[in-house]
Amino acid sequence: MAWFGRGKGSADEVAEAAAADTSRFPTADESMIDDAGMGPLRPRDRQIGANEQARIDAGLAALAAAGVSVDDLDALGAAYDREYAEWHGTRKGKRPDHDLIVEKYAIGIGEHLARTTDLRWRIVTDVFGTDLALADQKEGDFIVVPTNLVAARWMRTEIGWIPGVVRHLIAVRTDAR
């Protein structure tokens, strides 16, 4: 028994997850890391690959299966609020993995931004690491990491924020055009 293995599944399950074609974590672009182990001070981005596209497709499919349209911010926000309340109201030992819920709504927010702004899905590497993000294609200096948006608010138990935050980002990008 591993010291920190509680709740992680059997060794076979862990090995199977590790071998899966679609990783939740993008592969870091090691060419952007200097000798001191630091990433670039200015974010660098590259095209998404097949694994990242599969991750986006899976998130969109999960939302669609739940009857949630990423084109409707109010519906997306209401679905997130309901799912958070359900998760929060469940006994700790019985709760589903919140990472999967965060991922699903992060993909929904990101796809909404990709459909309504000049931002496009990219893999972004900076001093904080490598993430699936959205970046503008002109200057390359406007980056949104949807997982960070959702995870930070999840930790602070915020609800009701999705429509306002996403509409603000859309307005900022509209003004930038």
Domain boundaries, the chain: 45-176
The domain 45-176 is classified under which CATH number: 1.10.10, 1.20.120, 1.10.150, 1.20.5?
1.20.120
Concatenate the DSSP letters of all residues of 104-133 into one string.
HHHHHHHHHHHHHSS-EEEEEEETTEEEEE
Under a CB-based contact definition with an 8 Å cutoff, are residues 115 and 71 in contact?
Answer: yes
Q: What is the pLDDT of residue 3?
A: 45
- State residue 35's pLDDT score: 65
Position 141 scores a pLDDT of 77
Indicate the angle between helix axes 73-88 and 162-176, nearest 10 degrees. 140
Q: Tell me, what's the pLDDT at 12? A: 52
**Residue the block writes with tokens 């702004």:** 117
pLDDT at 125 (0 to 100):
86
Of the candidates 48, 62, 126, 144, which has an alpha carbon nearest to the alpha carbon of residue 99?
62
Low-confidence ranges of the chain (pLDDT < 50): 1-11, 14-15, 17-19, 21-22
Distance of alpha carbon 45 from alpha carbon 87, whole angstroms: 34
pLDDT at 45: 84
Task: Count the Cβ atoms, other than its own, within 10 Å of residue 176.
Answer: 12
- pLDDT value for 4: 44
